[in-house]
Amino acid sequence: MASAQPLFPDRPSALTTPPLPLNPEPTVLVVDDELRSQEAIRRTLEEDFRVLTAGSAEQASALLEREPVAVLLCDQRMPGTSGVAFLRQVRQRWPEVVRIIVSGYSESADIVAGINEAGIYQYILKPWAPEHLLDSVRNAVEAQALQRQTARLDLELRTSTPALRQRVSQRQQQVQQVYGFERIVRAAGSPLDGVCALAAKVARYDLPVLVLGESGTGKELLARAIHYASPRASGPFVVENCAAITDTLLESELFGHKRGAFTGAYEDHVGLFQRAHGGTVLLDEIGETSAAFQVKLLRVLQEGEVRPVGAARPLPVDVRVLAATHRELEQRVRDGLFREDLYYRLAAVTLTMPPLRERMADIGPIAQQLLHQVAAELRRPVPELPDGTLACLLAYPWPGNIRELRNEIARALALHDGARLPPEVFSPRVLQGHGTGSAAAQLAALVPSSGTLAQRLEVIEAMLLRETLLRQRWNKTRAAQELGLSRVGLRSKIQRFGLEPGA
Residue 4, pLDDT score: 40
- 3-state secondary structure (DSSP) of residue 359: coil
183 shares its domain with 120: no
CA 7 to chain centre: 39
- Would residue 15 count as lying in a domain? no
DSSP state at residue 318? -
**In-domain check, residue 10:** no
CB 149 within 8 A of CB 16: yes
Residues 270, 256 contacting (CB under 8 angstroms) = yes
Residue 166 lies in a domain: no
Dist CA 201 CA 196 (whole Å): 9
Q: Are residues 92 and 148 in the same domain?
A: yes
Residue 351: what pLDDT? 96
SS3 331: helix
β 305-306/315-316 pair status: antiparallel
- Do 69 and 184 share a domain, yes or no? no
Widest CA span in the chain: 119
* pLDDT of 182: 87
Quick one: pLDDT at residue 106?
Answer: 64
DSSP bridge partners of 283: 240, 323
Q: Say whether both 408 and 465 belong to one domain.
A: yes
**Domain of 347: which CATH number?**
3.40.50.300
Phi, psi of 11 (to 5 degrees): -125, 85
Residue type, 54: A
Instruction: Specify the pLDDT at position 5.
Output: 40
pLDDT of residue 450: 64
Query: Which is nearest to 179 in space by CA: 226, 243, 118?
Result: 226
Which 3 state secondary structure label does DSSP give 44? helix
pLDDT of residue 11: 38
Contact 227, 322 (CB under 8 A): yes
Residue 503 belongs to some domain of the structure: no
| Predicted local distance difference test score (pLDDT) of residue 463 | 78
> Does any domain span residue 3?
no
Using CA atoms, how far apart are residues 87 and 72, in angstroms rounded to an integer?
9
Residues 321 and 240: beta-carbon distance below 8 Å: no
The 3-state DSSP class for residue 90 equals helix
The tens-digit pLDDT sequence of the chain (503 residues) is 343 443 333 433 333 334 434 346 889 999 998 999 999 999 999 988 999 999 999 999 999 999 899 999 998 888 888 888 898 899 889 988 999 988 877 666 666 766 767 788 888 888 888 998 999 999 999 888 888 888 777 777 666 667 667 776 777 777 777 788 988 999 888 889 999 999 999 999 999 999 999 999 999 999 999 999 999 998 999 999 998 888 878 988 899 888 887 777 788 888 899 999 999 999 999 999 999 999 999 999 999 999 888 888 889 999 999 999 999 999 999 999 999 999 999 999 999 999 998 888 899 999 999 999 999 999 889 999 888 888 888 888 899 999 999 999 999 999 988 889 988 889 888 887 544 344 444 444 555 556 677 777 787 788 778 777 776 767 888 888 888 889 888 888 888 887 776 55
Last-in-domain residue among 354, 385, 405: 354
* HEC per residue, 197-250: HHHHHHHCCCCCEEEEECCCCCHHHHHHHHHHCCCCCCCCEEEEECCCCCHHHH
Please indicate, yes or no, whether residues 123 and 220 belong to a single structural domain of this protein: no
Q: Which of 354, 386, 421 is the last residue of a domain?
A: 354
Instruction: For residue 170, tell me if it sits in a domain.
Output: no
Task: Please check whether residues 328 and 371 belong to one and the same domain.
Answer: no
Please state, in angstroms and rounded to a whole number, the distance separating the CA atoms of residues 182 and 191: 14
Same domain, 225 and 106: no
Residues 405, 440 within the same domain: yes
CA-nearest of 405, 412, 423, 401 to 378 is 412
Residue type, 81: T
* Strands 50-54 and 237-241, bridge-based pairing: unpaired
Whether residue 194 is found in the same domain as residue 308: yes
* Torsion, Cα of 95, 97, 103, 107 (10° steps): 30
Q: ∠ at Cα 339 (350, 314), nearest 5°?
A: 95
Same domain (yes/no): 451, 490: yes
Domain containing 425 — which CATH number?
A: 1.10.8.60
pTM recorded for the entire structure: 0.57
3-state secondary structure string, 444-478?
Answer: HHHCCCCCCHHHHHHHHHHHHHHHHHHHCCCCHHH
Left (φ > 0), alpha (ψ -120 to 50) or beta: where does 177 sit?
A: alpha
**Are 119 and 194 part of one and the same domain?**
no
| Structural domains counted in the chain | 3
Owning domain of residue 223? 175-354
Q: Where do runs of H (alpha helix) occur along 94-208?
A: 108-116, 130-159, 161-178, 192-203
- Structure confidence at residue 454 (pLDDT): 76
Position 60 scores a pLDDT of: 93
For residue 5, being part of any structural domain is answered with no
Does residue 391 belong to any structural domain of this protein? yes
At residue 1, the pLDDT reads 39
- Res 107: pLDDT: 66
| CB-CB contact of 326 with 317 (8 Å) | no
The CATH number of the domain where 97 resides is what? 3.40.50.2300
> What's the gap between Cα 136 and its chain centre?
41
For residues 315 and 365, membership in a common domain is answered with: no
Mention every residue, 6+ apart, whose C-beta is less than 8 A from residue 342. Answer: 294, 297, 298, 301
Domain ends where: 354, 389, 419? 354
